Amino acid sequence: MARIDTTTVFDSFISTTVNETLRANENTTRNRVTTAVGALILSLTFLIGVPGNAFIIWSILARTRKHSITTMLILNMAFADGFLMALTIIFIVYLAKRNWVFWNAGCQLLFYLCNANMYASIMLIMLMSLHRLMAVVWPHRESAFTSKRIIRRLLLGFWILVLVMAVPGYVFRGKAQVNDTNESTREECIPIHPKSWHLIFHYLFETVVGFVIPYTIILASYVCILRRLRQTKFRRRIRSENLILIIVVTFCLFWLPYHILNVLQVVIEMFWPKSSFKDTAQSCRFITASLAFVSSSANPVLYTFAGKSYIHKNGLSFMAKLFEGTALDSESRRNRKASREPRDLALEEREADSSSTSASINTEKNKI
């Protein structure tokens, strides 16, 4: 049986939209300043992110005695971020050589894993926020959803969902040849959108499912949490809420430019597909993608600042002490709830007794 050249078959489906993408990426790779800035950002990200996330994993698995739900979610995020940071070296080589040397399958697989990390990060933050919402607003129901069996099933379903959601990142990515300034050709790992609606679907799906919907849920959760904390007499600063809020804000700062560019490219594709600004927007992807990578290395730095008060006393175990504090917050809420319920019942009984006593006194007075 004759062997089919899949590359030739794939290239035959590339339309005018793909040719415009190739031209945009050609302009991007010619800009040495853009690639140099991207390589520098990724190099710093690699040096901080790999050992930083490894330290988080070690702190939770080897040093933390009480594993709260928040700690388990942070552990999953550290695994995802650490794995992504290990792949950063491939992007550094790509930008340094200005040529893709890892085959077409490597191109598709690498960006598939990057997309999976994007969805995993935002979804884990969303789960943290929903858990804190339950812990603050409905603490008496929290224990029904925090058994190890339920959490394991939830995380298994979560990772399956994330891997499915990242499929467009694999489908719409491929290796292609672009012309260089000296009339030679180079190979680039670029977005491949055979039709205009492919680009619109791809970038809108990333932004809506990977940013807008989760962040709406996160913000709504924190509005409810803050309203609940204001209604209660207990007003001290909560470590869990502060830690997760810092993660939420940091993730937004680093990923917002990426998703703004997604929306911008969709708008250009829909209304001004022949605009020269299309090439400019595509050339900004190196910078926005590099900034998005920084978020995976930022969490270890954030945890270090959040737990700096424990460094002098606990040494290398300071991060474990910080994570144990999230478990203590949940336990203290449940204990306050449990102690408050008998007291509230006693007050209600006392009020009922006083009401019945006053009613009987009034009855006797009326008889007289």
DSSP 237: P
Report pLDDT digits (tens) over 147-182.
677 888 888 999 999 999 999 999 999 888 877 666
Mean pLDDT of 42-69: 86
Residue at 224: amino acid letter: C
Those residues with Cβ within 8 angstroms of residue 255's Cβ, 6 or more apart along the chain or in another chain: 118, 122, 211, 291, 292, 295
Residue 4: per-residue pLDDT: 40
| Whether pLDDT at 112 is above 50 | yes
Least confident of 99-108, 274-283, 330-339: 330-339
> pTM to 2 decimals?
0.75
| Contacts of range 20-26, beta carbons closer than 8 Å, 24 or more positions apart | 20/273, 20/278, 21/190, 21/191, 21/192, 21/193, 21/282, 22/176, 22/178, 22/188, 22/190, 23/279, 24/278, 24/279, 24/281, 24/282, 24/283, 25/178, 25/188, 25/190, 25/282, 26/178, 26/179, 26/180
Mean pLDDT of 1-22: 42
Those residues with Cβ within 8 angstroms of residue 181's Cβ, 6 or more apart along the chain or in another chain: 30
Those residues with Cβ within 8 angstroms of residue 58's Cβ, 6 or more apart along the chain or in another chain: none
Task: Round the average pLDDT of the chain to a whole number and report it.
Answer: 76
Residue 312: per-residue pLDDT: 66
Mean pLDDT of 51-71: 84
Residue 242: per-residue pLDDT: 72
| Whether pLDDT at 304 is above 90 | no
Residue 196: per-residue pLDDT: 87
Please name each of the domains of the chain with its CATH number.
6-334 (1.20.1070.10)
